[in-house]
Every structure is written in structure tokens, then in C-alpha cells.
């Protein structure tokens, strides 16, 4: 009930939700689908789910937070992400956990985000600068400010 109330408050106040769920993604999505409207926006933080779960989250208006797990050899997240439109992805850490390869096992930090960006570029076949631009814009769409600066830079070019 507390989760439902927090989501309701976020929608009423126009604030983004940031949801970290691992083994309960289907249940969380069921709750969100039952209560969501066009005001729901935010991020499924540290997303490691299936393509079906990703599509459900995107249909709800959520972005997917992609972190160090994308770089793990056997995670399978690369196969999921390759099937998704990049317009629904943001780059993130789960600091201090889930450090990207090759630093796995060490303390995670935001300076490793470029490693995740490079892996996302590899998986999607995109240029790393384009991945950085789009995922930064996506973050700005959720949190404001950042994306506006990226879009201003695009207009100046």
C-alpha cells in the first residue's frame, strides 16, 4: 500500500518515480498498470528484466535505467536492450554495486558510465557520441534541465 501511495503522490505532484525492483518486476508492473495514467513518468532503475517486462514499462511511460549489468558477459541484458528503442533508455550506475566490466568487484562510481555507454553503442550499432546524446536527453525528459541543454546544443550545431 505504501508503494501505491508514493506512486499516487508522484503523479499528483508531477514528479518522476524511480523504481528499483529485481525479483518482483511483474508484480510492480501489475500495480502500476492498475493505477497509472498519463502523469506517470520516471525510471525503472537498474533494469535487468525481460523484453516483455521492458515493453510493459515503456508502455507505462517509464525509461529503463541501464547500468553495469549490461557489460556482464552472461547477463543477457545485451539481447534485451538490442531490441529496444534507445529513446527509452538512460545510463546509470547502481553505485556502489554492479560495477561494469572490467572493474567488476570494485566499488562502482559514476565515472564508469562511459563504459556502459560504449557497451550500449556496441549492442545497438550506434556511435558512442550519439548514445551519449540520446541517453542524456532521455534523462533530461525525466528530470528536466539536462535534456534542455543537450537540445540547445543540437540547435546551435
The confidence band for 52, taking pLDDT boundaries of 50, 70 and 90, is very high
Domains, the chain: 2-156 (3.20.20.140)
In this prediction, what percent of the chain has a pLDDT beyond 70? Answer: 92
Across the chain, what does the average pLDDT equal?
Answer: 93
pTM confidence score: 0.90
List, for residues 76-99, the tens digit of each pLDDT value. Answer: 999 999 999 999 999 999 889 999
Run of H or E residues at 65: strand 62-66
Which of 18-26's residues contact partners 24+ apart within 8 Å by CB, and which partners?
18/42, 18/43, 18/45, 18/65, 19/43, 19/44, 19/45, 19/62, 20/45, 20/46, 22/46, 22/48, 25/49, 25/53, 26/53
User: What pLDDT is recorded for position 35?
Assistant: 96
pLDDT mean over 33-50 = 97
pLDDT at 20 over 50: yes
Amino acid at each position: 500500500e505504501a508503494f501505491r501511495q508514493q506512486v499516487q503522490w508522484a503523479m499528483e505532484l508531477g514528479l518522476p518515480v524511480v523504481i528499483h525492483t529485481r525479483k518482483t518486476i511483474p508484480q510492480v508492473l501489475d500495480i502500476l498498470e492498475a493505477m497509472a495514467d498519463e502523469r506517470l513518468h520516471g525510471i525503472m532503475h537498474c533494469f535487468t528484466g525481460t523484453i516483455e517486462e521492458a515493453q510493459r514499462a515503456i508502455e507505462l511511460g517509464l525509461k529503463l535505467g541501464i547500468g553495469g549489468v549490461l557489460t556482464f558477459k552472461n547477463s543477457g541484458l545485451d539481447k534485451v536492450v538490442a531490441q529496444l528503442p534507445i529513446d527509452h533508455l538512460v545510463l546509470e550506475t547502481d553505485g556502489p554495486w554492479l560495477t561494469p566490466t572490467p572493474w567488476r568487484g570494485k566499488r562502482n562510481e559514476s565515472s564508469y558510465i562511459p563504459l556502459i555507454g560504449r557497451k550500449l553503442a556496441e549492442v545497438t550499432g550506434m556511435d558512442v557520441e550519439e548514445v551519449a546524446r540520446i541517453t542524456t536527453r532521455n534523462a533530461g525528459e525525466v528530470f528536466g534541465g539536462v535534456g534542455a541543454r543537450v537540445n540547445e546544443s543540437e540547435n546551435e550545431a
